[in-house]
Chains A and B, each alone.
Chain A
Amino acid sequence: AQSVTQLDSQVPVFEEAPVELRCNYSSSVSVYLFWYVQYPNQGLQLLLKYLSGSTLVKSINGFEAEFNKSQTSFHLRKPSVHISDTAEYFCAVSGGANNLFFGTGTRLTVIP
């Protein structure tokens, strides 16, 4: 069975500062990993994903995440955040089946 832990429920950070949102997973099989973002009153949007290959994956808006198999982690990072990055971020894992296991989310608040 798969599970995901997002230890930080809320992360406040000043504008233009770096941020890291932590995600750890457990799985007995090879995994696919995802980060989703949910802006207020909207659905979930796929931010980035790791399926195979390079362990460092990047999104078009400056986020990146690195798959670390030994530490079973998939932390999300951005070197300089903007006000518009304020949202809830969900880490998810799939063991190849047709469903996802989500973490409880991290609410990122960017402070002007």
Chain B
Amino acid sequence: NAGVMQNPRHLVRRRGQEARLRCSPMKGHSHVYWYRQLPEEGLKFMVYLQKENIIDESGMPKERFSAEFPKEGPSILRIQQVVRGDSAAYFCASSPFEQAGGYTFGSGTRLTVV
């Protein structure tokens, strides 16, 4: 049973481009969580999704960021018109049901904006 799969592992974008980060949850998991780790900081919650629904997006920046988790396929975190401050590691986690932590994380996508 593969773990949470994230790709790409590393992503380089120029300022103003779009970044798409993908997360495939563990088999049987229908709940996905996205976190961001800025340099020298801990992980910070961004968004929680179930299949086809955004449940909690209280940690998402108001502009340029969006997330989806379609009925088929991976969850996508999309960042439009990236800026240098978006450079960070983005981690995805999944769980079989809503739970207060203890879920499994992927290896992350390290986004670098140049």
Binding site for B on A (CB under 8 A): 4, 6, 32, 34, 36, 41-46, 49, 51, 90, 92, 94-105
Indicate whether A46 sits within 8 Å of B104 (C-beta atoms), given known contacts A98-B98, A99-B59. yes
For residue B46, give the distance in angstroms from its CB to the closest CB of chain A.
Answer: 9
B100 touches A32 (CB 8 A): yes
Chain A positions within 8 Å of B35 at CB level: 100, 102
Chain B residue numbers with a CB within 8 Å of A102 are 35, 42-44
Number of interface residues of B (CB under 8 A): 29
Q: Evaluate whether A44 and B100 lie within 8 angstroms (CB atoms) in the complex, with A4-B42, A99-B45 already known.
A: no
Residue of B nearest to A6 (CB): B42
A45 to B4, CA, bound (A): 11
Measured CA separation A63–B70 after assembly (Å): 39
Q: A49 touches which one: B42, B59, B102 (CB < 8 A)?
A: B102
Question: Can you list 22 A-B contacts (CB < 8 A)?
Answer: A32-B100, A32-B102, A34-B102, A43-B3, A43-B6, A43-B105, A43-B106, A43-B107, A44-B91, A44-B93, A46-B103, A49-B102, A90-B42, A96-B100, A98-B56, A98-B99, A99-B33, A99-B58, A99-B59, A100-B101, A102-B35, A103-B42
Tell me how far the C-beta of A47 lies from the nearest C-beta in chain B, rounded to whole angstroms. 11
Given contacts A43-B108, A99-B48, contact A105 B42 (CB under 8 A): yes
> In the complex the two chains form, is A41's CB within 8 Å of B100's CB?
no
Give the chain A neighbours of B58 by CB distance below 8 A: 99
Instruction: Determine which of B44, B56, B105 lies in contact with A44 in the assembled complex, contact meaning CB atoms within 8 Å.
Output: B105
